Structures are given as structure tokens and as C-alpha cells.
A and B are shown apart, each in its own frame.
Chain A
Amino acid sequence: DSGVTQTPKHLITATGQRVTLRCSPRSGDLSVYWYQQSLDQGLQFLIQYYNGEERAKGNILERFSAQQFPDLHSELNLSSLELGDSALYFCASSVDGRGDPQETQYFGPGTRLLVL
């Protein structure tokens, strides 16, 4: 168990809908990362937050947004969902996230999203 929790574990929804995925980082970790994993694209970095502020942005669609709250939990909002958004969404956390190359990211168990 990495100490990172994600809810829900599974989500089934329809095209056009909006969903919110939630992540609680490990105790003491200030940085949260969101990733999308699909069979054809592999693990793709979406966005990083550090202590409530956006730190880095990857291949995140405009239909997607995220935020990190004062208690450090994070939410990923996916809107106007399309079939191609079906994937595993992982949250990871790390202590700092300010560029120490040896800092480990700890991944949660993921949320499996199916868009029908």
C-alpha cells in the first residue's frame, strides 16, 4: 500500500458527462501528480500541483481541469467526456516535487473510467 488513496475505484458514465476523481496524497507529501494510462498511449503525465499551486502541465486536454485543496487532497475534473477518455487515471504524490531527481513518486491504485 503506497499510502495514496483514490476514489472512486471504478466509474462508468456516458459521453458528454462530467466526472470528478479524487486523490488523497501520502501523509506529509506536498506534491500531487495526475496521469492517464491507456493501452495505446501508455502512462501520460497530465498535471502536477505543489502545495495548492499548479507546478507543471503535461498533455492535459482543455476539457480536463484539476485543483489541490488546502488539505492537500486533489481532484481531477473531466468534462464533455468522449469515448476516448476511457482509461485508468492515476494520482501520485511526492514529498516535494521541486526537481530533486531522486525523489520518489508514490502512485495510488487508480480510478478506472469507462465512457459509454
Chain B
Amino acid sequence: QKEVEQDPGPLSVPEGAIVSLNCTYSNSAFQYFMWYRQYSRKGPELLMYTYSSGNKEDGRFTAQVDKSSKYISLFIRDSQPSDSATYLCAIHSGGSYIPTFGRGTSLIVHP
């Protein structure tokens, strides 16, 4: 079992939909949770970072962490075609700041 599991998709939704992207992890030592967005032919860019269980909101994006279930989510409200990208979760334990990445979920938002 990989340390971080993420469904590669693709996930195709209509514009305006609420998108839910998810990752599960196996190592309970993981404490820091990030979501990166990667456009085609570009490097990943940090979208959101969170530490504790619960929700963190930033505009149309909400990151949710459930440490008891080892499950993290990224919600995108009012999705736009410009949100079409691959979303990678990344998790680390804080010791050396070397995150373990999920394989990424490809999201397609069609007009």
C-alpha cells in the first residue's frame, strides 16, 4: 500500500459544479497537509496548506483534514474551466519537510 493514495481520475464536471478531490494516507505521523495544482506542462504550485484537522478556506477552495480517518479533501466551489489541472495532495511529518505526494487527480471543468 502506498503511503498516499489518490484517484488519478480524470474527473470531468460542468462549470459551476462543486468539486471534491480526495486523498487517503496510511502514516499517522503525517501532520502537515498540502494541495498543489499542476497545469499541463507546468510545475506544481502550492494551493493550500493546513496542519490541523478541520477545514481551511481560501476563496473558492476549502481544504479539509480528518486525521482520525487519515483522509483529506479539497473542495472547489463554483468551478471554472481555468481550474482544469491536476491536483496533487502532499503530506509530510514535519521532520525534514520532504513531502510525500499523491499521484494527482486530473480535473476537467467543461463550459
A contact residues vs B (CB 8 Å cutoff): 2, 4, 33, 41-45, 48, 55-56, 58, 90, 92, 94, 97-110
Contact = CB atoms under 8 A, between A and B. Distances in A.
B75 interface: no
Contacts of B44: 43, 90, 107
A43 B89 CA distance: 10
Contacts of B67: none
Contact of B43 (A48, A56, A90): A90
Contacts, number: 61
- Among all A-B residue pairs, the 4 with the closest Cβ atoms: A107-B43, A42-B103, A43-B101, A101-B32
Contacts of A2: 43, 45
Contacts of A4: 43
Contacts of A105: 46, 99
**Which of A41, A94, A97, A105 has the most chain B CB within a 10 Å cutoff?**
A105
Contact of A42 (B43, B46, B94, B101): B101
A105 B88 CA distance: 14
17 contacts: A33-B98, A41-B103, A42-B88, A43-B103, A45-B99, A45-B101, A90-B44, A98-B97, A99-B95, A99-B96, A99-B97, A103-B97, A104-B49, A105-B46, A105-B99, A107-B43, A109-B43
